[in-house]
Every structure is written in structure tokens, then in C-alpha cells.
């Protein structure tokens, strides 16, 4: 059975959200453990799941298309000029 990268990211995201929700549902006597669950969920979401997702989505893309170079600026200005002429 082959586990896909997408499934790992979804699992980490769901686990993080569950940890955050569980931290909010704990009683006021357990504030230190509630803060730990909320913090671990936040770390899992933003420092583990988000970078994995960004890596997965940008793996086969050419980064030159997203850099702000003189050629890309010229292309954007040409597109903007054509859009204003059509309206």
C-alpha cells in the first residue's frame, strides 16, 4: 500500500486541528496542558503541514516565472495595456 504525500499532509492538518480543539475544550484546571495542546497543534499546522504543502505544490514549477525580473515586468505591463484597451 502506497501512502501519498497528500494523505500525509491531510493527516497532519487534521491532527493539528484536533489538538487545537481539544486544547480549547479542556477545563480551566488544566490550563498548562491546554496551552500545550493548542501550541502543538499550531506548530504542526504552520511549521510542518504548511511547508510540506508548499513543497508539494511547487515541486515541478519553474521559479523563473514567479521572479520579478525586467522581462516579467515588461510582460505584465504589456498584458495590462491590452486589458485596458479592450474595456
Express each pLDDT in 7-46 by its tens digit.
999 999 999 999 999 999 998 889 999 999 999 999 999 9
| Model pLDDT, residue 13 | 96
Residues 9 and 53: beta-carbon distance below 8 Å: yes
pTM: 0.69
Residue 30 to residue 64: CA distance in whole angstroms: 50
| Model pLDDT, residue 72 | 83
User: For 50-71, what is the mean pLDDT?
Assistant: 85
Domain ranges, ordered by start, for the chain: 5-61
C-alpha dist (Å) from residue 44 to 7, 59, 71: 15, 21, 39
Residue 3 to residue 8: CA distance in whole angstroms: 7
Amino acid at each position: 500500500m502506497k501512502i501519498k504525500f497528500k494523505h500525509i499532509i491531510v493527516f497532519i492538518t487534521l491532527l493539528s486541528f484536533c489538538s487545537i480543539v481539544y486544547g480549547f475544550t479542556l477545563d480551566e484546571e488544566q490550563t498548562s496542558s491546554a496551552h500545550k495542546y493548542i501550541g502543538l497543534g499550531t506548530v504542526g499546522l504552520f511549521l510542518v503541514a504548511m511547508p510540506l504543502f508548499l513543497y508539494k505544490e511547487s515541486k515541478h514549477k519553474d521559479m523563473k516565472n514567479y521572479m520579478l525580473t525586467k522581462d516579467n515586468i515588461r510582460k505584465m505591463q504589456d498584458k495590462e495595456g491590452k486589458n485596458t484597451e479592450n474595456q
